[in-house]
Amino acid sequence: MGSNRETKRAELRERLIEAAEIELRDKGLAGLKARDVTARAGCALGALYNAVEDLDMLVLEVNARTLAKMGTALRASLPGPDAQPVESLQALAEAYIDFALENRRIWLALFEHRLPEERTVPEEHRQSHSVLIDGIAAPLARLRPDLSPEALALRARTVFAAVHGVVHLSLQGQFVGVPLQDLKSEVRALVEIMARRAG
Amino acid sequence: MGSNRETKRAELRERLIEAAEIELRDKGLAGLKARDVTARAGCALGALYNAVEDLDMLVLEVNARTLAKMGTALRASLPGPDAQPVESLQALAEAYIDFALENRRIWLALFEHRLPEERTVPEEHRQSHSVLIDGIAAPLARLRPDLSPEALALRARTVFAAVHGVVHLSLQGQFVGVPLQDLKSEVRALVEIMARRAG
DNA sequence: CGCAGCACTGAACATTGTTCAAGAACTTTT
DNA sequence: AAAAGTTCTTGAACAATGTTCAGTGCTGCG
């Protein structure tokens, strides 16, 4: 396997991304070190900078995969099309919490990783974030037929961000966060409130 | 001024915290460097480690002051006691957004700063976070007389975290965040929804 | 004054991301 | 198949940065 240059390059890139994901799962974003990643991937330190631009880009690659997995998990959680909209939203929220709990560090990396201020996230990586809100607009539309498509898209982001905020503060154990043991019931209540109300 | 040892030590500590706040305002958490802080405070690099435990503790000190200022801003925003509960909540939310917009980097530092996993935040610093939720329980209690005091305290955290989540994703320009121009109106709608509904 | 303790200094150290010159490996040309 | 050219890999070197520490000076007290 991997005889020509292109292939070997892609294989090393792949090994590096996988190694980075393992390191990230084990030690979190702050514990991700270039030397540990390259050691795990079985290459020299400098090879990293030929396979990817730098460590930040490696994190973006891991994040893209995390988002893809999250998308799978969220879609799998959706009940059939004849379910009540509020049930779809509850299912998405619960699946989001479960994913975050089961993949805490790589999920956190999605939101804690920052590029230096002058650098900008490549377009393809920006788009992979849409899985977070893709499932929300449809059930929301049935609950809020009064909203225009633009207002709906906006509101879907708000609903996601609200749920995410509760989960984020809770999972980090920040002092103002909801205790973990109450997280699911509070998010259920929040989603219920956001869904049930009219007009 | 500052003749005895105790006083000089406290003065240097104060200068360091102020210098750190300025650096944090200018360059953000990732741009905070021990050498820049000590240069601004007018002392040698090593003096930092006599005045405070380390850089992390300096950030905690700045955060404590930020939280105190935030508390002042939030309390000042509250309408009189005869206002509708929903108006109190709206005022708090708007004041929160304004504070975040006007103090973006030091506000972000409140939520982005992490101690190494093995270290733990001193109790006095934990408590300073309560200003974020202190004003919420009272108006919420009038909207939800059905909830026990414990459930109310929990729900206050949930309400804060939901609003915070929307603000946080929006101000960081994360792809899934609400665009800044829509932030206030979306938060208004969210608070309205969380307040208006019954049972 | 003089001494004991403390604080300040800045050089040195450890860790870490990134670069780069040298050599190895692969591809193309002849 | 050999030569020439291109690209990749290696690991040492560099730069940035948090932290420590031995040396030096200052403070407070008898």
Tokens of B4: 């005895």
Can you give chain A as a three-state secondary structure string?
CCCCHHHHHHHHHHHHHHHHHHHHHHHCHHHCCHHHHHHHHCCCHHHHHHHCCCHHHHHHHHHHHHHHHHHHHHHHHCCCCCCCHHHHHHHHHHHHHHHHHHCHHHHHHHHHCCCCCCCCCCHHHHHHHHHHHHCCHHHHHHHCCCCCHHHHHHHHHHHHHHHHHHHHHHHCCCCCCCCHHHHHHHHHHHHHHHHHCCC
Which residue of B86, B143, B158 to mutate against A (max A Cβ within 10 Å)? B158
Q: CATH topology for A1-52?
A: Arc Repressor Mutant, subunit A (1.10.10)
A40 has a chain B CB within 8 A of its CB: no
Q: Does A194 touch chain B (CB under 8 A)?
A: yes
| CATH classification for the domain delimited by A55-196, as one of 3.90.105.20, 2.60.120.260, 3.30.565.10, 1.10.357.10 | 1.10.357.10
Predicted local confidence at residue B5, as pLDDT? 84
* Orientation of helix B149-171 relative to helix B104-112, angle to 10°: 120
Residues carrying CATH 1.10.357.10, chain A:
55-196
**pLDDT per residue over B84-103, tens digit each?**
999 999 999 999 999 999 99
Q: Is the C-beta atom of B35 closer than 7 angstroms to strand D? A: yes
What local confidence, expressed as pLDDT, does residue A2 receive? 53
Residue spans in chain A of domains classed CATH 1.10.10: 1-52
Output the six-digit token pair for A132: 């977070």
Region(s) of chain B under CATH 1.10.357.10: 63-196
Q: pLDDT digit string (tens) for B120-166?
A: 999 999 999 999 999 999 999 999 999 999 999 999 999 999 999 99
Per-residue pLDDT tens over the stretch B32-56: 999 999 999 999 999 999 999 999 9
Asked if A160's CB is within 8 angstroms of B189's CB, the reply is no
Q: What is the pLDDT of residue A199?
A: 42
Answer whether residue A1 shows pLDDT above 50.
no
CATH 1.10.357.10 at B63-196, yes or no:
yes
Q: How far is B67 from chain A (nearest CA, A)?
A: 12
pTM of the model: 0.96
